[in-house]
Every structure is written in C-alpha cells, then in structure tokens.
A and B are shown apart, each in its own frame.
Chain A
Amino acid sequence: MKPTYKQVIANWGNFPVVEKEIKSEDSTKKIKEYVRNHHDIIARGNGRCYGDAALSENIFSTKRLNKFISFDRLNGIIECESGILLSDVLEVIVPQGYFLFVTPGTKFVTIGGAIASDVHGKNHHAEGCFSEYVMEFSLLNEEGDVLPCSRNQNSEKFWSTIGGMGLTGIILSAKFKLKNIESSYIRQESIKAENLDEIFKLFEESESWTYNVAWIDCLQTDKNLGRSIMMRGEHAFKHELPKKLQGNPLKLKMGSSPSIPFYFPNFVLNNLTVKIFNLLYYFRQSKKEVKSFVHYEQFFYPLDIVNDWNKIYGKSGFIQYQMVIPKESGKEGMKKILETIAKSGNGSFLAVLKLFGKNNPDAYNSFPFEGYTLALDFKVNSKLKKLVSQLDSIVEEFGGRIYLTKDSMSKSSLTNYLQNVQNPKFISMQQKRIDNN
C-alpha cells in the first residue's frame, strides 16, 4: 500500500467537490518541511467554511494541531493550537465561568479558521469581530519561518492575516481573551415582526442588547415581506435564573446529538416544504413576545444539535449567500433582495438578518462594516447561478460586499476586498477564481 494523499473533498456546502492532496502534521519541524516542499497550499481546519475558500491543490489540514497550551484562569486568557474547535474551548472554559467574546452560529469551527475568517456573531454591533480579543498568534510564513504576530510584533502580518482567508500562511496557535459569565444561560426575548418595517424598527430599538438576530421568512411577499422573529439576549446572571437552574448555573449541555445519516433525495427540499417549515416556525410562537431563559447551546448553536445537517440539501449541495449593505440604505436594499428571492421561487430554508456595528479600521480584511447583513442558504440547482447574479447586482448597487467564508460563486467585484495577502505559496481555489474573473 503506497501513500496517496489525494482525497475527495468539499467544505460545508458540499459545493464544489474536488479531489486534492490533504496532509496533516503535528510537529512544527514537519510542517515547515511540508511548506518548503509544496506550492499552492491552503490551511484547512474543520471545513466549516461553505464554498471553495479552504480548497487548493495542496491542503494542509490543521486537525492534528489540537492541543491546549495554557489557560490563565485568573485573567481569562487561553492559548491553544489552531486546530482546536470552539466547542473544545467552551468545554474547558464554561465550567470555569468564561465564554467566548465572539462566536459564529456554529461551535465547530477551529480557532485558526475563526481568525482567518475573522468571524462575527450576534453581538457585532456591540463587541465587534473575533479579532478584537485575539492577543497574539503564531504564523508559519512562505519561507517556513514561525512569526509571532500581535498588535506590537509583526503587526502588519497580524492585521493582514485577520480575515485574510489563510492566504498569508498557516496559523499554528493563538492566544485570546475570554468573557466572564455567571451562568451558561441566556436571558432571551423573542419578538415577532410582521414585516420589514417592524423588524428594522426592532433592530434599532435593540441596540443596547448584546445579542441580536432575526430569522426571516424569505418567501413572504407584499405586506408580509420581511416577516420575521427577532431574538435578543443577554448572558443571565446567576440570581436572575429560575430556581431549578441555579443549582448548576454553569452547566455544559453534553450528550449525543442526532445525525443526518445520508444525503436527502432532491425532492425533499423544495419551495413547498420550505414554505411549510417557515410557516410552522413563525406560528410556533403564538404570542407577540416571549421571554425565557435558554441554554447557550440553544441560543448560539441551534443547528449544531443536528450533526451533518448539510446533508438535507442533497448531493448537489448548497451555498450560503451572506452580504452586508451599508446601514443607511439597509432597509431599501433588503427589500429588493427579499423581493428578488420571493420572485425567483428559490426559497431559502434559513435566512438570518443581523445588524453590524462599526468596523475596526485596523482589521482591514474583515468582512463586516456598519450595516445590515443577511445570510441565506440556497440549494444548488440550475436556476441558482442566475439568482446569485441578480442578488450580486443589487448588493453592488447598494455598495455592499459578500462574505468570503461563504462565497463560492459571487461576482469578483464584491469579493476582492482583501489586501496584502498576495503570496507565492499560499493560495486557495477561491482566490484563483476571484483573480481570474
């Protein structure tokens, strides 16, 4: 049996699927050797980016860089290798009264991926991106040297790597700050909005809340356009909790999750089923406003409860389309986008609306800037390319951009915002596609 490192591989959207070389090492010496002897390399963590960002001729998997390095329990600072998942971090820190300052909608991304994508969460308007809390990281560059990067040391590399989609090198380890919590529960208010006007008003009223997000039924039209449910939340203090939760306020919900055992056949997800799902979801909550305490798992990671949920989109896969539109024209832009989607009949099973706050000008490669962001899942089919191009035109018209971490088919004028990342060694399929367009 001769070693062959070629594997059939795709990221979370199962689109595109390619056959490429994947290699994984855990010793710095061997990783250096690998980088010196290969070209067209991209680092890949847990493959939770959606499109072609973590694909290249040679993929370096960081799955073996999976060790914690240190934990300052007094000051809430943790250091670990880049292949550690957010879920691994949470398991260690939550029982100690800490939480991640910024988390995306899945806990199954690696720390390296969180930095390379500079992920954001439901609190961007209040607390910014992941990078705000990163103190330092080590980066293996094209020469095979390990550079310590921070705001003071190799700061140019530090900022270009943040949101740099892995094009500056391989992140080996990182140190970042944690947030104090008294409980692992979120005090949540969920409020129904009948249309776009109502949901935008709710966002403006909710700016003082740490976490805000809205789920939108994107198949509604006319006076129901923008029908949605807003969920806002705060980390609950221990004394606020109902008595029965106070006994174990820092509980980690663990236990096995159900899995999707196979790719769903194509007919399962169609306009009708999406419509029914959205209807059920909207009317599940009968009152206009519901206040409750929910576990952080349910609040931040509702989809993580089902393993491999990407398989419901079938073998042809799906894309996630996430754009941001400047705040002043946010409502108008979203209206046009939602109308276009409803007209196309290409329903999105999951549509999430959020408000971004001001961007950090130092983190110039980060996706978010002040404005409204909408994320939509679309099944890949013959009509999709046309819809994406229509949506791209609207985003462009309003001066928006597309999130690279989720992109696999958008216009290059909306995705070519990275600076100082041109590198002879590290290049992804995504970057090649953008460069060639």
Chain B
Amino acid sequence: MIVLGSNSEIAQAFVEKALSAGERFSQIYLLTSNRETTEKFAKHLEVKFVQQSQIIEMDLLKPINYAVLEGLTSDLLFCATGYLGLGTAEGLYDNKNTERIIDINFAKLVPVLNFFAEKMERQRSGTMIVLSSVAGERGRQSNFIYGSAKAGLTAYLSGLRNYLFNKKVHVLTIKPGFMATKMTEGLPLNPKLTASPKQAATGIYKAYKTKKDVAYILPMWRIIMLVIKNIPEFIFKKLKL
C-alpha cells in the first residue's frame, strides 16, 4: 500500500481500518513531509498489527525525486495530501498562501498521482483512493482558492477514472465534508455534520470494497451539496457562504 500524506489522521485511520479488517501488505510505503510523526505511526503499526512499513520523505513544495519512488509498487494507493491554508478573509491577496494551496492540493500533486497511475496502468490493476473535498463542488466566497484547487482535483480524478477504466484500474474520489482533524481543530463546525477520522475510515473502506466511484463521508453532505450546487448563480452571488 502506498500512502501519500501519511500524517493525515484520515489516512492513518484508513490504514488501521484496512489492517483491522484483516488486510495485509508486503510493505506499506508512508510518503510524508514530516518524518518525526510518521515514524511514530510506523512503530505503532509494527506493535499493533505486526505490519512492516517504510517511510519515504516527499515534500510537494520541493522538487520530487522520482528515482526514489520508482521502486514503489502496490495495488492500493491512498492519497490524503491536502492543505487548507488561510481563507478569503485573511489570505486571498497573500500570494504565497494562494500558491501553496494550489500547489499542494492540485498543481504539484497531479504529476505525482500521474506517476503512480502510470505504474498501475502498466500492471493493469489497482485502486487509487484520493481525498478531494465538497469545497470543490462550488466556489464560495469564504474559501474559493482552496475550493478551486479541489475542484481541479475532482475534475482530474473524474477524467483519470474514465481513462483508466478499461485498463482495470479503479479511481475512488472521496469528498469529506467537515472532519474533526488537526486541519480543522478549533473551527466552529456543526457536530452533526462533522465526522471523526475513524468514521471516515470506515466509510472509505466500504466505498473501496464496493468499488464506488465517488463517495461522501456523511450521507447528509450529498444532499447539502445538491442544494448548494443548484442555487441559481444570481441568487448564489448574494449569499454569504
């Protein structure tokens, strides 16, 4: 199994979910920009599941060393790489913030996903599970830079799924709504609409096993986004969302 963004709580919860369900991998490759915390996770997997893993440092904001990634092969890839950054109020005209959001969520991520897609295409098998966001479904004034990067990612994943379909590779797009993670700690989120990493992992694992194409974490979000997407633009532009 290959994990991009191994420090994400959802990624870690998913790995634990899969192992708890009895799956075993000859190796789990943990790609991360933060070796210290990922090392803790690797030891945890060793103690809890007697599962080997290997840490590979990868920072999307630095040049990617593809030679290191060459040896990584697996039937399953989980990508939780993401960066929320500052919202519109604080960060719209901060170019550094804008670039970071676009790079990590889309621009620098897509070539890496392509790299692994090609490997799976060659081996004619595999599943790519990638976390996008409900924020990508319609640009809202509060965080549309993040939303637009995720919209790009969602469109990319949809095209990739289409392209890889007859090559026996499956692409699963996950659209989490609010999540109770480090990324959102301290934000005033409605608890009824907020999922824990464990809940998310269970939902994602089920979607993986049933070969879903696109999955929301909490069913409520499908309805919320259906409403938001269908508000006519002339009304939407007046709303404070």
Which A positions have Cβ atoms within 8 angstroms of B?
Answer: 1-5, 23-24, 26-27, 64, 67-71, 78, 80-81, 91-92
Residues A1 and B187 in contact, CB atoms below 8 Å apart: yes
- Report whether over half of chain B's contact residues are helix, strand or loop; otherwise say mixed: helix
User: Are A1 and B188 closer than 8 Å at their CB atoms?
Assistant: yes
Known: A26-B37, A27-B36. A3 touches B43 (CB 8 A): no
Among candidates A3, A23, A69, A70, residue contacting B187 with C-beta atoms closer than 8 Å: A3
Q: Which of B9, B36, B47, B187 sits near A68, CB closer than 8 Å?
A: B47
Cα separation A2 to B47 with both chains bound (whole Å): 38
Contact A92 B48 (CB under 8 A): yes
Asked whether, in the complex, the Cβ of A67 is within 8 Å of the Cβ of B43, the reply is: yes
Contact B41 A67 (CB under 8 A): yes
Per-residue CB proximity of B156-199 to A under 8 Å, as 1/0? 00000000000000000000000000100111100000000000
B47 engages A3 (CB within 8 Å): no
Q: A27 to chain B: which residues have CB within 8 Å?
A: 36-37
A81 contact set on B, CB distance < 8 A = 40
Q: CB-nearest residue of chain B relative to A29?
A: B36
Interchain Cβ contacts under 8 Å between A and B, 13 examples: A1-B87, A23-B186, A26-B182, A27-B36, A64-B9, A67-B40, A67-B43, A69-B43, A69-B44, A69-B47, A70-B43, A81-B40, A91-B48
B59 to chain A, nearest CB (A): 17
Contacting pair B44 A1 (CB below 8 A): no
- In order of increasing CB-CB distance, the 10 nearest A-B pairs are A3-B186, A68-B47, A67-B44, A71-B47, A68-B44, A67-B40, A1-B187, A5-B186, A68-B48, A92-B48
B residues in contact (CB < 8 Å) with A: 9, 36-37, 40-41, 43-44, 47-48, 87, 142, 182, 185-188
Question: Min CB distance, A363 to chain B, in Å?
Answer: 27
Query: Are the C-beta atoms of A23 and B41 separated by less than 8 Å?
Result: no
> Contact between B142 and A3 (Cβ–Cβ < 8 Å)?
no
A2 to B186, alpha carbons, bound, how many Å? 8
- Chain A residue contacts of B182, Cβ below 8 A: 26, 64
Within 8 Å CB of A2, what residues of B?
Answer: 187
Inter-chain CA distance A1–B182, complex, in Å, is 15
Task: Please report the C-alpha to C-alpha distance between residue A91 and residue B20 in the assembled complex, in whole angstroms.
Answer: 11
Once bound together, how far apart are the Cα atoms of A304 and B9, in whole Å? 26
Q: Please measure, in the bound complex, the distance between the C-alpha atom of A112 and the C-alpha atom of B186, giving whole angstroms.
A: 24
With A27-B36, A64-B182 in contact, is A4–B48 under 8 Å at CB? no
Which residues of B sit under 8 angstroms from A24, Cβ to Cβ?
185
Of all chain B residues, the one with the shortest Cβ separation from A7 is: B186
> Are A4 and B186 touching (Cβ within 8 A)?
yes
Alpha-carbon distance between A78 and B44 when the two chains are bound, in angstroms: 11
Output the least CB separation between A170 and chain B (Å).
17
Q: Judging by beta carbons under 8 Å apart, are A1 and B142 in contact?
A: yes
A81 to B188: give the CA distance in the assembly, Å: 28
* Chain B hits for A5, CB < 8 A: 185-186
Contacts of A64 in B (CB 8 A): 9, 182
A68–B41 Cα gap in the complex (Å)? 8
Residues of A within 8 A of B44 (CB): 67-69
Chain B residues within 8 Å of A91, by CB: 48
Q: How far is the CB of B128 from chain A (nearest CB, A)?
A: 27
- Smallest Cβ distance from A38 to chain B, in angstroms? 14
Q: How far is the CA of A1 from the CA of B85 in the complex (A)?
A: 12
The answer to whether B186 and A70 touch across the interface, beta carbons within 8 angstroms, is no
Q: Check B185–A3 contact: CB distance below 8 A.
A: yes
Contacts of B43 in A (CB 8 A): 67-70
CA distance A71 to B40 in the complex (A): 14
**Distance in Å from the Cβ of A22 to the closest Cβ of chain B?**
9
| Alpha-carbon separation in the docked complex, A24 to B9 (Å) | 13
CB distance from A19 to the nearest CB of B (A): 13
Distance in angstroms from A91 CB to nearest chain B CB is 8
B188 touches which of A4, A26, A71 (Cβ 8 Å): A4
A81 closest partner in B (C-beta) = B40
Q: What's the Cα separation between A3 and B184 when bound, in Å?
A: 8
Shortest distance in angstroms between A319's beta carbon and chain B's nearest beta carbon?
26
Residues of chain B with a CB closer than 8 A to A68's CB: 43-44, 47-48
The smallest C-beta distance from A186 to any residue of chain B, in angstroms, reads 25
Bound complex: CA of A67 vs CA of B47, how far in Å? 9
In contact, A70 and B36 (Cβ under 8 angstroms): no
Chain B residues positioned under 8 Å from A23 (CB to CB) = 185-186
> Which residues on the B side are within 8 Å of A70 (C-beta)?
43, 47
Docked pose: A91 CA to B142 CA in angstroms: 43
CA distance A293 to B37 in the complex (A): 43
Taking CB atoms, residues of chain A closer than 8 Å to B40 are 26, 67, 69, 81
Residue of B36, B43, B87, B186 with most partner-chain A CB within 10 A: B186
> For A67, what are the chain B residues with a Cβ–Cβ distance below 8 Å?
40-41, 43-44
Chain A positions within 8 Å of B188 at CB level:
1, 4
Q: In this complex, what residue of B is CB-closest to A61?
A: B185
Nearest A residue to B42, CB-CB: A67
Return the chain B residue nearest A3 by Cβ.
Answer: B186
Please, how many angstroms separate the alpha-carbon atoms of A1 and B186 in the complex? Answer: 9
Contact, CB under 8 Å: A92 / B185: no
| B9 vs chain A, min Cβ distance (A) | 8
Q: Which residue of B lies closest to A79 (CB)?
A: B47
In angstroms, Cα B182 to Cα A2, docked, is 14
